[in-house]
Amino acid sequence: MTDSRRTRIDRTAGPLSPSRRRFIGRTAAALAAAPFVRPPALFGQPAVRPAPGMPEPQFVNTNGIRMAVYERGEGLPVVFVHGFPELAYSWRNQMRSYPAAGLRAIAPDMRGYGLTDRPADVAGYAIPSLCDDLVGLLDALDIERAVFCGHDWGGAAVWAMPRLYPDRVVGVIGVNTPASGGPPPSEPPEEPLIVFTENYYAATFLEPGRAEAVMSRDVRRALEMIFRRGWYWDVENMRGYPPDSAEKTMDMLRMIEEDNYQGELIMPPDVLDYWVETFEATGFTGGLSYYRANMGGGGAAPTGDIDVPCLYVGAENDTILRPSSSDRMPAFIADLERHVIADCGHWTQQEKPDEFDRVTLDWIRRKFQDA
């Protein structure tokens, strides 16, 4: 088995534009001078039930944590890696469609989420540590190599995998999140949609306890604000909002508190019920630790060429991770395909599962199954 704790280089920082990285770096430096306050009783094993309609989870020991893993099907293994504030349940549609296509679908609750352990040490949520979690998962399931498919923070982790552990990766599907690297652009590829202030959502997530206080006050309402289509997940809307609005500044905590929700939910009520039940039990600190461990200029993203076949799936109306953010990727990925799903916001595989499956399964068939 591969030693998942071996030495690596080029620690990650996450998928940020240079201007956004500088802004968050300054914010993090200011917060670092403040005393650290950890919200009480948010870590420890959650008292939540397994996700409905999913296979019975198994539990594996990896990189010092106990990880819950849902698995179904046989064939080429595909590991699905979720982001914030998500769960393995984010891949519920793919847990049906991928096995039907002759693939082995594997979806863990990532470190800090759901039925998986939520260590209090924020450093453990850095991307290299998450990659160690995933390598230990492969070892526990006796899998040598897999395709890795990740969304949001999961995308940051799967793009790091072939740079840190190239011998464990068959291919990569990055969903919304681009791989970092390549020459910096001489100018922004398109007009900015967001006015960055100290209340930009990622900056507010860095301060321990601040986002937890807002989100945990009414977990259902917080998740109803986040998991939407339209509203602030719409490019044309964002072009028209006033510069001091919560939407234009992407002040998610203010949007939760203003309680003036627009657009519509991207999931049915029974699915939202499971999300609410889970996060009421676990809190949000585990997921917010991804921001605290990886943002603020504390490390450099893994760099260098990626030598496995890769697919980038973007969404037309993701106003934070815009499809143009993938424009530099051909410079360091020789075998790269890109696809943008129209009329889709940030929650791509949940919002447009049929098109997502069509695009990704076709790519897997052409690259691996027909070989």
Residue pair 88/349 in contact (Cβ under 8 Å)? The answer is no
- 196 CB burial (10 A radius; 0-12, 13-18, 19+): middle
Closest CA to 152 of 285, 350, 296, 10: 350
346 annotated active-site? yes
Q: Where are the alpha helices (DSSP H) in the chain?
A: 18-32, 94-100, 127-140, 153-164, 201-205, 210-217, 219-226, 235-240, 252-258, 269-282, 285-294, 348-351, 353-364
152 annotated active-site? yes
Task: Find the length of the chain.
Answer: 371
- The residue from 152, 234, 251, 318 that is catalytic is 152
Residue pair 175/319 in contact (Cβ under 8 Å)? The answer is no
DSSP per-residue codes, 27-60: HHHHHHTSPP-PPTT--S----PPPTTSPPPEEE
Residue pair 176/321 in contact (Cβ under 8 Å)? The answer is yes
- The residue from 139, 318, 346, 357 that is catalytic is 346
- 29 CB burial (10 A radius; 0-12, 13-18, 19+): exposed
Q: Around Cβ 320, how many Cβ atoms within 10 Å?
A: 21
- The residues that are catalytic are 152, 346
